[in-house]
Amino acid sequence: MISIRNISLSFGDQVLFDDVSFNINPGDKIGLVGRNGSGKTTLFSMLNQELEPDAGAVSLPKNYTLGYVKQHLEFTKEMVLEEACLGLGPDEQYDEWRVEKLLLGLGFSEDDFYRDPQELSGGFQIRLNLVKVLAGNPDMLLLDEPTNYLDIGSVRWLTEFLKAWRNELIIISHDRRFMDNIANHTVAIHRSKVKKIRGSSVDIYSKITEEEEIFEKTRLNQEKKEKKTRVFIDTFKSKANLAKLVQSRIKALERSEKLEKLADIQNLAFYFNEAEFKAKTLMRVNDLSFKYDKMSHNLIHKLNLSIDRHDKICVIGKNGIGKSTLLRLLYGLLEPVSGEVNLHNAARVGYFGQTNISTLNPGNTIEEELLGCDPSSNREKVRKICGSMMFSGDAALKKNSFLSGGEKSRVLLSKILLTPTNLLFLDEPTHHLDMESCDVLVEAVEGFSGAAVIVTHSETFLHLLATKLIVFGSSGIFVFGGTYKEFLGSSASQGFY
């Protein structure tokens, strides 16, 4: 058993943990939830003995090993297989077959075994990190957003692998479906405290909401009783025959523990600024083909597509197959080899790309970044959007260079919100967002009356949003005119995963 006892930790004025205690028992598979900045990754660092709490202690059994899958990438070998085998223990040098099985399960081909890790895409480099940790067969896995940059097939493989994992694990993930499929317990970091239950992320948030509603009712009742008591004291304090009773009420007030009103928690709250569009079709794509200069074959071949004003189109397929390239083509960042992309004159487009975070000026404050993206914007309008994206007050004056990945993603979304749109291109918009922010994003896209084309590996998003699919399959790219559920039940999905 791992014991976390009375830990407290602060960074400056920010209290992350306040006298927190809980246990991790044998066989626990824990989904760790909490808002961005609440301390989830910090808790991992304390469990891994990389960070000491200000007070309290984290106690691990003797010889207990942890495997921590981080987003930080550092490779020392010249071949993928050699790098992955670094995860094996000193007495496991002949277990290369086990490493190969892990690599194949996470989407590597046998040819990839002999590639330089530095040549891999960011997504495959993260998978290689995961394989190195899994190869060590630790007593506990610490998984920090393990599905980022994994395609649907790899997420499904990882889900089954972790469900069959016999030891303990803790997962941080914005993907509620993935987490709840694996975890048998959920731990929430909330208001600098930790709550652990047997159940899902939905269960724990329902429990927290219920408890806070009960607390608020109790606080209001206490407030009413206190007011009545003070009225009694003020009314009868001068009457000698009631002196004992008055003193009794005064002492009762002094003894009672006053319940403070819970501080409001700022929530992400936004909707896309919609531009009017009365025609049926926003964009038509005719025989679109594209390849990069060094490629012998087209990445995209003769795609025909119509994007109508209410369409919610999700783009699915393995990593590296051309999904982000397609969005860049549709947005006009790339020129097709052949074919046409015809955009209606009244179309107004917003684009969120995987690499857009790097386009933020590190020297700008959030406010300056937003003021600079639209000449017609004024400070009042920008500040209103900052507030809706959880950058109220002085938070809007933070520089981009000091923002987390999630905060930068919110700045990019803010830039889209500043301009009226009726066509959205969103490339993996959930990366770096917490679970609550993902829920808000789904609601905003659902409620958007225009069209959206979304690259996503989240099956939660696919089930909730897709009215049409663009599928990168083994035999090429095609359009499926139905929901994700309909796709899974059709012959078109055969061999896709």
CB burial of residue 164 (10 Å; 0-12, 13-18, 19+):
exposed
- Nearest-angstrom CA–CA distance, 161 and 141: 12
Which residues, listed in sequence order, are joined to residue 368 by a DSSP beta bridge? Answer: none
- Nearest-angstrom CA–CA distance, 256 and 405: 45
Q: Where are the domains of the chain?
A: 2-203, 205-255, 281-493
Q: Could you give phi then psi for residue 460, rounded to 5 degrees?
A: -65, -50
The predicted structure's pLDDT at residue 435? 85
The predicted structure's pLDDT at residue 130? 86
Cα angle: 429, vertex 314, 497; to 5 degrees: 105
Q: What percent of the chain has pLDDT over 70?
A: 98
Helices 379-388 and 366-373 pack at an angle, to 10 degrees, of 120
Amino acid at 440: V
pLDDT of residue 210 exceeding 90, the answer is yes
- Nearest-angstrom CA–CA distance, 207 and 187: 12
Report helix, strand or coil for 127. helix
pLDDT of residue 282 exceeding 80, the answer is yes
Report the candidate in 119, 116, 129, 108 with the shortest Cα–Cα distance to residue 78. 116
Cα–chain center distance at 228: 48
Mean pLDDT calculated for residue range 232-257:
82
The predicted structure's pLDDT at residue 169? 96
Whole-Å CA distances, 432 to 161, 204, 326, 440: 24, 22, 22, 14
CA torsion sign, 172 to 177 to 178 to 181?
Answer: positive
Cβ contact 465:315 at 8 Å: no
E strands, 310-450, in order = 312-317, 338-343, 349-352, 423-427
Beta sheet of 476-480, edge-to-edge order? 349-352, 423-427, 451-455, 312-317, 468-473, 476-480
More confidently predicted of 147 and 469: 469
In the DSSP assignment, the letter for residue 404 is: -
Q: Identify the band that residue 249 occupies on the pLDDT scale cut at 50, 70 and 90.
A: confident
Place of tokens 């397929």: 317
Cβ contact 200:58 at 8 Å: no
The predicted structure's pLDDT at residue 361? 85
Q: Could you give phi then psi for residue 324, rounded to 5 degrees?
A: -65, -35
- Nearest-angstrom CA–CA distance, 61 and 307: 57
Mean pLDDT calculated for residue range 55-64:
93
H/E stretch holding 472: strand 468-473
Domain 2-203 listed as CATH 3.40.50.300: yes
Q: State pLDDT tens for residues 469-494.
A: 999 988 889 999 999 999 999 988 88
Report helix, strand or coil for 249. helix
- Nearest-angstrom CA–CA distance, 187 and 17: 13
Q: Which spans in 422-466 are helix H? A: 435-447, 459-465
Q: Buried b / exposed e across 283-293, counting CB within 10 Å, b at 16+?
A: bebeebbbbee
Amino acid at 358: S
Mean pLDDT calculated for residue range 18-35:
95
More confidently predicted of 119 and 197: 197
Which residues, listed in sequence order, are joined to residue 290 by a DSSP beta bridge? Answer: 300
pLDDT of residue 21 exceeding 90, the answer is yes
pLDDT of residue 365 exceeding 70, the answer is yes
The predicted structure's pLDDT at residue 71? 64
Same fold, 2-203 and 281-493: yes
Q: What percent of the chain has pLDDT over 90?
A: 52
Q: Quick one: three-class SS letters along 200-230?
A: CHHHHHHHHHHHHHHHHHHHHHHHHHHHHHH
The predicted structure's pLDDT at residue 406? 74
Q: Give, in words, the CATH class of 281-493.
A: alpha beta
pLDDT of residue 373 exceeding 80, the answer is no
Report helix, strand or coil for 68. strand
Q: Which spans in 2-151 are helix H? A: 40-47, 80-85, 96-105, 122-135
Report helix, strand or coil for 94. coil
User: Parallel, antiparallel, or unpaired: how do β-strands 281-290 and 423-427 relate?
Assistant: unpaired
The predicted structure's pLDDT at residue 122? 66
- Nearest-angstrom CA–CA distance, 458 and 463: 9
Cβ contact 83:135 at 8 Å: no
pLDDT of residue 77 exceeding 70, the answer is yes
Pick from 29-33, 92-96, 217-221, 442-446: least confident: 92-96
The predicted structure's pLDDT at residue 280? 96
Report the candidate in 141, 189, 208, 207 with the shortest Cα–Cα distance to residue 169. 141
Q: Identify the band that residue 355 occupies on the pLDDT scale cut at 50, 70 and 90.
A: low
Q: Quick one: three-class SS letters along 252-308?
A: HHHHCCCCCCCCCCCCCCCCCCECCCCCCEEEEEEEEEECCCCCCCCCEEEEEEEEE
The predicted structure's pLDDT at residue 157? 85
Q: State pLDDT tens for residues 314-338.
A: 999 988 889 999 999 999 999 999 9
Phi-psi region of 55 (alpha: psi -120 to 50; beta: other; left: phi over 0): beta
Mean pLDDT for the chain overall:
89
- Nearest-angstrom CA–CA distance, 59 and 187: 18
More confidently predicted of 413 and 276: 276
Mean pLDDT calculated for residue range 458-470:
93
Maximum C-alpha span of the chain:
102
pLDDT of residue 113 exceeding 80, the answer is yes
pLDDT of residue 121 exceeding 80, the answer is no
The predicted structure's pLDDT at residue 238? 79
- Nearest-angstrom CA–CA distance, 35 and 265: 10
Mean pLDDT calculated for residue range 384-392:
82
Whole-Å CA distances, 137 to 99, 132, 253: 11, 9, 58
